[in-house]
């Protein structure tokens, strides 16, 4: 080595390298602010301290196994940098605080919490949660008192310094074991008028309840650090006031086998963790005495009723750490059994609904009536009985603030088949024609298919007695729920951005702070996962989501690829019918009604189902009508063997070429009359949204108008709406006989197989549920649907009120269906 330095080249090279390093360092320091260097050094120092404290330093305390000593061993060296180093790791805290703040505000406004609330933050550490809550509520004035309870003396000292700096006199830092904390020890000295609001009832054990209850309880990444978590959760259960809210955010890992049979967890999107995630994160966190076993979360869900629940991933350094947010309430009170008994005794169109009405009037409850053989039971009632018998919490639907969404089991295959995606982002039914045909009054009880919910809201504008929205696809009902929540919580400007333009720059925050108190747990969980991408200003918007996005994307792609994009834009802006017809016939029609496109794309069974929601049975009806038209055109006599011949008996004989031509012909009979008879830019929002991907202030669904918003945003305006997630036949069968006046089935009967028993069975339950003179509104892809005979043979008089005959007829602004029918009940079945 010494000889190396004797080399002339080395003697020159080494000083040169050192000089270059010094010059680079000098230049870098010359152009870098001193404050930035200090900040970088501080950040590096904090990270080193954090890494050492968490991964290298042993945490055994004084060797006695005392939990407080163990906590001090872990936190003492990093207490001063705790908040800085946890900002990225402990995600979800802001969301949890926003959710519980929204719930507390809702309950205060509803009169459930009558005075300033008390908040207890279990394991509150440095007080970061309480200071962060200032962005949601004015902490010093909104809360009567706040208690931060933590066992670490080092973190409590940081918290005291924080609140001394902020000058918040109503915040009290208590260094104590959460299991022994009792609010009465601190609140018993205040005057009686300020204590009435928080003298609550224990969830179950009346003897164990605290004399003073907390209106808000939070646990932020603390439950996973409590060794004896059962006793800690039991303590906070008895600490919560009757109308109080509990919020928990923490890490977890869990296998779907553990929770898949539970009906009370409030949704399970992304709850399952892969085996490698379960093993790795549980082992990793155990090094710091943080326990991620699923029993902790399970016990929280067992001890409290679920209001909202969601599962997320903390993205840190390319890793995804599972965490959850839980918002709950007391499982029940001493009056729970009365509510179930009232539900059992109710005799309405839905026993579950009646029980909820009784719940709202529980101050002077009616005497339960005896059960009779004619009573129907909802699935919600059946489930409530089973859960109460097994000492389990009731499903999350029972604890939601607005009892709009009826309980359903989201784990069933019939719901899972849709893969958490709606088909329709907008409704293909002309609400103006519906209103003219149905003439809805205040005495009507309506049952209709949800679809995208636009028509449901149109019916609600007519102020009927009750509207039951039914859809087997949970996501379609999530969309309707979001619209209902928007009417209750948002102004018209925000409402228009979300559903008019399909985009909102602040949707996620609106969901957490405004909409969440009005959503069921499943709907909230769904929109928390997909809402940001759906309504992102940088995306294509709401109407380019769901199954219908395939149709809109195809139209958009054709416009670009074939050079008619400007023509399509002009079509959406045409001011006169003549201008519109000219634009259509000149270029747009040749593309959208291309026979090649119909044969190979639109006419394919997969595209018809995924993009347009057309099942194979409905496609077969279109093909059968087309075949009959060909026979009539040739002068052939229709086959008449005594049976009704508009069904699907001959579909096997149609060739693939004629099948594609049938779809093309159907498209021609749909679109040409629309262009010739309706002005898209001003009076046909159904096709305007297909061209633009959004609505305009001049042309939009009825529910997006200013008058509609003023009407539906009034308190109680949508209280008569009930949302069922089930098959139509199931909902009809559980309705009280002769309780409905109107049933709107859209084109759902087209979906049945004509050789199966399902259509006849559904017609019978519809007959049972309808009052005498009750009406069924039907639309069909067939001119003379085969199932009309099933209605006529089961007590209905049927009348075709619109049909695309002769060719070129426009039945309504959508004109998507070949015929429209009104079936009136004239006789009851035995």
Main-chain phi, psi angles of 440, to 5 degrees: -70, 140
Q: String of b and e for 467-477 (b: at least 16 CB within 10 Å)?
A: bbbbbbbbbbb
Does residue 296 fall inside a structural domain?
yes
User: Which residue's entry shows tokens 């924080």?
Assistant: 162
pLDDT for the residue numbered 333: 47
Task: Please give the model's pTM, rounded to 2 decimal places.
Answer: 0.84
Does residue 510 fall inside a structural domain?
no
Pairing of strands 445-449, 740-746: parallel
pLDDT at 446 over 90: yes
**Residues 307 and 373 placed together within one structural domain of the fold:** no
Measured CA to CA, the distance from residue 121 to residue 26 in angstroms comes to 50
State mean pLDDT over 512-539: 96
**Residues 123 and 243 placed together within one structural domain of the fold:** yes
Q: String of b and e for 45-84 (b: at least 16 CB within 10 Å)?
A: ebeebbeebbeeeebebeeeeebbbbbbbbbeebbebbbe
- By CB atoms closer than 10 A (0-12, 13-18, 19+), residue 759 is buried
- By CB atoms closer than 10 A (0-12, 13-18, 19+), residue 237 is buried
**Residues 236 and 137 placed together within one structural domain of the fold:** yes
pLDDT at 353 over 70: no
Cβ atoms of 220 and 249 closer than 8 Å: yes
Measured CA to CA, the distance from residue 463 to residue 718 in angstroms comes to 9
State mean pLDDT over 79-98: 74
pLDDT at 384 over 70: yes
**Residues 194 and 311 placed together within one structural domain of the fold:** yes
Range of the domain at 165: 90-330
Measured CA to CA, the distance from residue 340 to residue 354 in angstroms comes to 11
CB 492: neighbour CB atoms within 10 A? 17
pLDDT for the residue numbered 78: 52
Domain end marker among 692, 725, 752: 692
In the structure encoding, which two tokens stand for residue 765, read together? 């339950």
pLDDT at 636 over 60: no
**Residues 70 and 96 placed together within one structural domain of the fold:** no
Does residue 705 fall inside a structural domain?
no
Does residue 513 fall inside a structural domain?
no
pLDDT at 460 over 50: yes
Measured CA to CA, the distance from residue 799 to residue 481 in angstroms comes to 34
Least confident of 7-16, 638-647, 785-794: 638-647
Distance of CA 389 to the CA centre of its chain: 30
Torsion over CA of 408, 409, 412 and 414, rounded to 10 degrees?
A: 10
Cα-Cα end-to-end distance for the chain: 109
Measured CA to CA, the distance from residue 266 to residue 308 in angstroms comes to 6
Q: In what order do the strands lie in the sheet with 118-122?
A: 171-175, 145-150, 118-122, 214-220, 240-251, 319-330, 304-316
**Residues 234 and 94 placed together within one structural domain of the fold:** yes
Whole-number CA gyration radius for the chain:
32
**Residues 311 and 359 placed together within one structural domain of the fold:** no
Higher pLDDT: 709 or 390? It is 709
Does residue 503 fall inside a structural domain?
no
pLDDT for the residue numbered 380: 78
pLDDT at 350 over 50: no
Measured CA to CA, the distance from residue 199 to residue 242 in angstroms comes to 8
pLDDT for the residue numbered 249: 96
State mean pLDDT over 5-25: 62
In the structure encoding, which two tokens stand for residue 589, read together? 């029609």
List the helix and strand counts (H, then E) for the chain.
39, 14
Does residue 421 fall inside a structural domain?
no
Torsion over CA of 810, 813, 816 and 822, rounded to 10 degrees?
A: -80
pLDDT for the residue numbered 344: 40
Least confident of 165-174, 348-357, 536-545, 582-591: 348-357
Higher pLDDT: 558 or 253? It is 253
Which has the closest alpha carbon to 521: 346, 658, 429, 396? 396
Give the H or E element holding residue 320. Answer: strand 319-330
pLDDT at 186 over 70: yes
Confidence of residue 373 (pLDDT cuts 50, 70, 90): very low
In the structure encoding, which two tokens stand for residue 454, read together? 């636009």
Average pLDDT across the chain, whole number: 82
Higher pLDDT: 288 or 582? It is 582
DSSP state of 730: H
**Residues 165 and 300 placed together within one structural domain of the fold:** yes
Confidence of residue 211 (pLDDT cuts 50, 70, 90): low
Cβ atoms of 186 and 211 closer than 8 Å: no
pLDDT at 80 over 80: no
Q: Where are the alpha helices (DSSP H) in 737-824?
A: 758-769, 788-792
Domain end marker among 314, 330, 346: 330
Residue 409, CB half-sphere, CA atoms under 13 Å: how many?
16
**Residues 296 and 370 placed together within one structural domain of the fold:** no
DSSP three-state, residue 313: strand
**Residues 149 and 242 placed together within one structural domain of the fold:** yes
Composition of the chain by helix, strand, coil, percent to 5: 50, 15, 35
pLDDT at 462 over 90: yes
**Residues 359 and 263 placed together within one structural domain of the fold:** no
Confidence of residue 17 (pLDDT cuts 50, 70, 90): low
| Residue 109, CA distances (Å) to 106, 310, 494 in order | 5, 25, 22
Dmax (CA) for the chain in angstroms is 116
**Residues 603 and 569 placed together within one structural domain of the fold:** yes
State mean pLDDT over 367-375: 46
DSSP three-state, residue 317: coil
Domain end marker among 676, 692, 708: 692
Does residue 561 fall inside a structural domain?
yes
Measured CA to CA, the distance from residue 742 to residue 186 in angstroms comes to 58
pLDDT for the residue numbered 190: 46
Does residue 616 fall inside a structural domain?
yes
Measured CA to CA, the distance from residue 400 to residue 117 in angstroms comes to 20
- 642-693 tens-digit pLDDT: 444 444 444 444 554 566 778 888 888 999 999 999 999 999 999 999 899 9
pLDDT at 813 over 80: yes
Number of folded domains that form the chain: 4
Measured CA to CA, the distance from residue 728 to residue 449 in angstroms comes to 8
């Amino acid at each position: 080595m010494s000889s190396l330095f004797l080399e002339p080249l080395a003697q020159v090279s080494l000083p040169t390298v050192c000089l270059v390093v010094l010059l680079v360092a000098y230049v870098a320091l010359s152009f870098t602010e001193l404050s930035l260097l200090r900040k970088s050094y501080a950040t590096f120092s904090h990270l080193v301290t954090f890494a050492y404290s968490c991964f290298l330093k042993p945490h055994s305390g004084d060797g006695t196994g005392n939990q407080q000593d163990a906590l001090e061993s872990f936190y003492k060296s990093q207490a001063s940098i705790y908040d800085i180093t946890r900002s990225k790791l402990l995600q979800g805290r802001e969301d949890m605080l926003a959710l519980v703040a929204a719930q507390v505000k809702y309950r205060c406004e509803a009169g459930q919490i009558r005075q300033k609330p008390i908040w207890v933050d279990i394991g509150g550490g440095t007080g970061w949660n309480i200071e962060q809550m200032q962005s949601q509520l004015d902490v010093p004035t909104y809360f009567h008192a706040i208690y931060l309870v933590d066992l670490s003396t080092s973190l409590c000292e940081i918290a005291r310094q924080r609140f001394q700096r902020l000058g918040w006199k109503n915040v009290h830092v208590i260094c104590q074991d959460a299991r022994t904390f009792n609010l009465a020890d601190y609140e018993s000295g205040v005057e009686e008028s300020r204590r009435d609001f928080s003298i609550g009832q224990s969830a179950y054990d009346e003897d164990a309840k605290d004399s003073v209850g907390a209106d808000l309880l939070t646990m932020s990444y603390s439950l996973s650090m409590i060794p004896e978590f059962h006793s800690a959760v039991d303590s906070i259960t008895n600490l919560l006031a009757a109308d109080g809210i509990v919020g928990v955010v923490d890490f977890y890992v869990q296998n779907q086998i553990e929770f898949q049979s539970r009906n009370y967890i409030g949704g399970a999107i992304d709850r399952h963790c892969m085996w490698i995630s379960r093993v790795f994160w549980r082992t990793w966190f155990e090094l710091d005495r943080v326990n991620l076993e699923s029993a902790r979360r399970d016990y929280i869900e067992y001890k409290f009723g679920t209001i909202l629940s969601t599962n997320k991933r903390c993205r840190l350094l390319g890793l995804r750490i599972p965490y959850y947010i839980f918002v709950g309430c007391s499982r029940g009170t001493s009056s729970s059994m009365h509510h179930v008994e009232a539900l059992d005794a109710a005799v309405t169109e839905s026993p579950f609904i009646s029980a909820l009405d009784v719940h709202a009037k529980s101050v002077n409850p009616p005497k339960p009536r005896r059960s009779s053989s004619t009573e129907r039971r909802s699935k919600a009632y059946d489930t409530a009985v089973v859960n109460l018998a097994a000492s389990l919490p009731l499903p999350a639907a029972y604890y939601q603030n607005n009892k709009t969404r009826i309980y359903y089991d989201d784990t069933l295959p019939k719901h899972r088949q849709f893969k958490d995606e709606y088909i329709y982002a907008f409704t293909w039914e002309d609400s103006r024609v519906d209103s003219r045909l149905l003439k809805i009054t205040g005495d009507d009880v309506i049952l209709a298919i949800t679809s995208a919910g636009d028509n449901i809201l149109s019916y609600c504008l007519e102020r009927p007695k009750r509207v039951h929205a039914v859809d087997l696809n949970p996501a379609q009902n999530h969309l309707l729920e979001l619209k209902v929540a928007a009417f209750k919580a948002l102004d018209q400007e925000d409402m228009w951005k979300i559903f008019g333009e399909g985009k909102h720059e602040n949707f996620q925050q609106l969901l957490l702070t405004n909409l969440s108190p009005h959503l069921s747990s499943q709907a909230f969980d769904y929109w928390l996962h997909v809402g940001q991408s759906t309504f992102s200003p940088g995306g294509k918007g709401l109407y380019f989501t769901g199954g219908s996005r395939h149709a809109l994307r195809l139209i958009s792609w054709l416009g670009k690829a074939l050079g008619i994009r400007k023509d399509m834009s002009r079509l959406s802006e045409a001011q006169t019918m003549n201008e519109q017809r000219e634009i259509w016939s000149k270029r747009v029609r040749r593309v959208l009604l291309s026979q090649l496109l119909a044969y190979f794309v639109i006419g394919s069974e997969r595209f018809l189902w995924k993009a347009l929601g057309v099942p194979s049975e409905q496609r077969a009806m279109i093909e059968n009508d087309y075949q009959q038209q060909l026979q009539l055109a040739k002068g052939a006599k229709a086959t008449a063997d005594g049976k009704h011949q508009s069904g699907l008996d001959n579909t096997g004989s149609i060739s693939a070429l004629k099948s594609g031509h049938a779809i093309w012909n159907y498209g021609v009979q749909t679109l040409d009359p629309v262009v010739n008879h309706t002005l898209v830019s001003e009076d046909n929002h159904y096709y305007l949204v297909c061209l633009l991907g959004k609505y305009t202030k001049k042309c939009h669904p009825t529910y997006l108008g200013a008058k509609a918003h003023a009407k539906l945003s009034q308190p109680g305006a949508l209280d008569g709406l009930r949302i069922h997630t089930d098959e139509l036949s199931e909902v009809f069968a559980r309705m009280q006989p002769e309780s409905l006046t109107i049933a709107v089935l859209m084109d759902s009967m087209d979906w049945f197989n004509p050789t199966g028993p399902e259509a006849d069975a559904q017609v019978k339950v519809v007959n049972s549920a309808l009052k005498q003179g009750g009406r069924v509104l039907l639309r069909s892809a067939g001119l003379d649907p085969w199932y009309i005979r099933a209605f006529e043979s089961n007590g209905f008089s049927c009348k075709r009120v619109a049909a695309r005959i002769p060719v070129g007829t426009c039945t309504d602004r959508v004109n998507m269906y070949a015929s429209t029918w009104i079936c009136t009940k004239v006789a009851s079945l035995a």
